[in-house]
Amino acid sequence: MSDEKVHLNSTAKKDQLTISVIGAGIIGVLCALKLQREGHQVTLIDKEAPGNGCSFGNAGILARSSFVPLSSPSTLMQAPSWLLKPDGPLCVNWSYLPKIIPWLFNYIKAGFRADLVKRGEDIHQLTDQSVQMYKALAAQLGCDDLIVETDYLQVYRSRAGFEKGEGDMNARRRLGFAINNLDAAQLQALEPNLSKEYMFAHHLTDHAFVNDPHALVLAIYESFLQQGGTFVQEAVNDINLGEKCEVVTAGQTISSDKLVVAAGAFSGRILKSTGVNIPIETERGYHITCPDPQVQVNRPVMDGDLKFFVSPMSMGHRFAGLVELAGLDHPLQERRVKVLERSAKLMLPGVNTENATSWMGFRPTFSDSVPVIGAAPNDERVIYAFGHQHLGLTCAPMTANIVSDLIAQRPSQIDISCYDIKRLL
């Protein structure tokens, strides 16, 4: 494995380009830093401060084995029962349903397509090296303490729930991941504070988590600034593709040789002015963070039935998950926060949720669960890097490498044809 792949670092001298990167989440800041290290003059643009979106509120898991597409038969078979449960992991804002029907139709079709395994392998290319790449990067940035190597658990209350999870786990085993099956006694030995209702578990080794995802984004961002990078905190109003790539904000027009769009779920809106209709949706996710949980977990744990994580982060225990289909404009729903709080108390009896903070973010998702990383269909100077659904943090380092390869017009170290936007248009 080359240093380039692992270290997200290259000192090769090239003709300097001016590059604008739209989106200051983990993918955007990593792309910006990577391109800067390759000798380019980079401007990072976002309406929010760096790391304030999903890169702030995620569960922190470097889920290198979580490559099975969300649009799978097992997910689709369970979705109706989830919708019928008030405290279930999935809900739909019914006023938004007419708008999302075309995306849902394609999502359901993708779940039963013959290429499910291939799509999983496509995602696996992006996730597998994430722990190594983050460790190397954190060492360079002096924030090694943010990356915690660990195992993690996926836990179930019933054998039926456990067996539903086996298909997913067997797909991971086929690609070499070590996953052990635990009974109630083995699970309690590892996590004695978990509810005794959990009777079965999958134990996944060789993973890691980030104990403060926002701090990681800021460490990358500060390195970018220290090396001469520019950040513009303004909303993008328009993109003009003429002699130069022009990003128009309320206060200025930023011209560059090339443009990277890494704005997550907002990428579709931003790109409308370029004449490309991006069929992206958002799976809104929630978290609560308990600063004084008073009940300890030793590693990340996922409830395999209700589809949420608890992660022992530096600022307290974070419970994160759920899926809400309601678009980009609907406000945070307090009832979903309450669902997560009740679920947290069922998972960890006695957990203290006083003074807990709550959050909602927008996970960018395509109907086939595979991100878009590649040139725009109408202008090769524009590079797309978005749509990583629940895996933006995990996929970011490899995505940044691909983007730098595309900018440099050199072959990528992996097959990137599967990420082309043309498959969805």
Model confidence pLDDT, tens digit, residues 124-181: 999 999 999 999 999 999 999 999 999 999 999 999 999 999 999 999 999 999 999 9
253 sits in the region (left: phi over 0; alpha: psi -120 to 50; else beta) called beta
In this prediction, what percent of the chain has a pLDDT beyond 90? 92
For residue 77, name the pLDDT band (cuts at 50, 70, 90): confident
State pLDDT tens for residues 257-274: 999 999 999 999 999 999
Q: Give yes or no for residue 244 having a pLDDT over 60.
A: yes
Measured over the CA atoms of residue 421, residue 5, residue 37 and residue 215, the dihedral's sign is positive
DSSP 261-313: E--GGGHHHHHGGGT-----EEEEEEEEEES--SS--SS-EEETTTTEEEEEE
Average pLDDT score over residue span 73-100: 86
Q: Which amino acid is at 220?
A: I
309 sits in the region (left: phi over 0; alpha: psi -120 to 50; else beta) called beta
Alpha-carbon span 106 to 111, nearest angstrom:
9
State pLDDT tens for residues 271-282: 999 999 999 999
Which pLDDT score, from 0 to 100, does residue 5 have?
37
* Tokens representing residue 244 in the block: 């130069």
State pLDDT tens for residues 190-239: 999 999 999 999 999 999 999 999 999 999 999 999 999 999 999 999 99
Average pLDDT score over residue span 278-307: 97
The residue among 364 and 81 whose pLDDT is bigger is 364
Q: Give yes or no for residue 74 having a pLDDT over 90.
A: no
- Residue 332: DSSP 8-state: P
- CA-based Rg of the chain, rounded to a whole angstrom? 21
Beta bridge partners of 44: 21, 231
Measured over the CA atoms of residue 377, residue 378, residue 384 and residue 386, the dihedral's sign is negative
Which pLDDT score, from 0 to 100, does residue 86 have?
78
User: What angle separates helix 213-226 from helix 26-37, to the nearest 10 degrees?
Assistant: 30
Residue 365 sits at the vertex; the CA angle it makes with 377 and 401, to the nearest 5 degrees, is 60
* Tokens representing residue 215 in the block: 């701090």
State pLDDT tens for residues 327-365: 999 999 999 999 999 999 999 999 999 999 999 999 999
Which pLDDT score, from 0 to 100, does residue 15 have?
78
